[in-house]
Structure 1
């Protein structure tokens, strides 16, 4: 694990009525969001990347890979890194009671975290994550509708996330992973705050994605709070 000190501030029988209710709840439940903060310049990160690839096959989990920039000085500039991804990780640190950012880090639903190299620990956090059913989200090609729900203490953020659903192989020529080819999945390319949500129904429009990227929407407590709801196309 690499840590950056605090300079940077997851016979057939018909179902009973209760069974139908359980099915409806499952259908409406948002996926558990697992975010990986990683870097191509970090020698500890390849096992976490591999674990995210395994998790990406689960229908109940939305995996997102955010490439941070603070290890670029070690000799290899991450080809997916953006400062806003580094800032997103830093926003989590006070709420997770950490003194600084590190890689690889996985954050589950914005509330629990672990080093991303132990799949059993990640699965434990996913199993223990609180089911999320509110607010409801309806996602179209260029608009998202957010339903009503309990009003958050402060306005929640609505994030537009554009990510690549394909497996991407990146040859690394320099730095700690020099001479290796690193596989990545669900690499985030864009992160945009569409606006806020205060418990009342609302909707936001955005430009449609013309290429190969997928779109996800996260409703999240402000400044790296709990993920309240999520969906993807």
Structure 2
């Protein structure tokens, strides 16, 4: 797509706006595992696949968002869906559960069908995953609203299981809490399908996802994937309304501390 000079300037201003709000918010909240009541945040969920030729630009966009806003209250998750796996290339990060999660958004947002790449922000808006302008606008909108609770996380590991304890300071009624184990970076050499011959970089890959009805406090177990190294992963938690899909609070924690 060809952008005019005016559009390019508008996008640059929008990206700066994201960074400015993020820096301000982070200065008030030095604990990376907390998203205190009243703090703005944006949960950015990308549905993607190595088998989809339109997806690499979307993967690049979330990588750009991640790199250019390191102190932002952005919680980025890339779900690799499995419905492209029959096109000649099986995405090693794909999972049927992530396709099912995307189907939930079809229902919540009254969409007609699944598609990739797709970005959903705070469970309330969706756009084509490679559309930078629409994505930044959705993030800016999310960052103009307050969270409705505070999530605190603590973790410990025994063998190949991660024990995650959480506390939620907010109204748990009608909500689910989701805990995502996220691999920060990876690459794949694709030898078949629509992306044959391409080396695809990925960021913020969801490797495991656990959900339950929100409680004030509880513990969950997450099985770590093969080759797990804590410095290469982080844990993202968010609370989501089961009826509307609206995400009302979020937090994250590095696992190498």
**TM-score over 0.5 (shorter chain):** yes
> Of 175, 192, 206, which aligns to 1:188?
206
What are the residue-to-residue correspondences of 1:167-182 with 2, within 5 Å?
168-182=186-200
Give distance in 2, aligned partners of 1:74 and 1:216: 31
Deviation by residue 1:81-126 (Cα, 9 ceiling, x = unmatched): 0000000000000221211100000000000000011212110111
Residue of structure 1 equivalent to 2:16? none
Task: Decide whether the 8 Å contact of 2:238 with 2:251 is kept in 1.
Answer: yes
Unpaired runs of 5+ in structure 2?
1-23, 156-163
Task: Compare 67-76 and 130-139 and name the one that shifted more.
Answer: 130-139
Residue of structure 1 equivalent to 2:168? 146
> Of 91, 100, 106, which aligns to 2:119?
106
Structure having the larger proportion of residues in helix: 2
Alpha-carbon spacing, 1:186–1:38, altered in 2? closer, same or farther (3 Å): same
Residue of structure 2 equivalent to 1:9? none
| TM-score, reference length from structure 2 | 0.74
Shift of 1:27: 6.5
| TM-score, reference length from structure 1 | 0.81
SS at structure 2 position matched to 1:56 = helix
Unpaired runs of 5+ in structure 1?
1-18
RMSD over aligned Cα atoms: 2.4
The alignment status of 1:43 with 2:53, answered yes or no, reads yes
Alpha-carbon spacing, 1:73–1:217, altered in 2? closer, same or farther (3 Å): same
SS at structure 2 position matched to 1:136 = strand
Task: Decide whether the 8 Å contact of 1:36 with 1:66 is kept in 2.
Answer: yes
Deviation by residue 1:144-177 (Cα, 9 ceiling, x = unmatched): 111133x65xx211111001123x1111000000
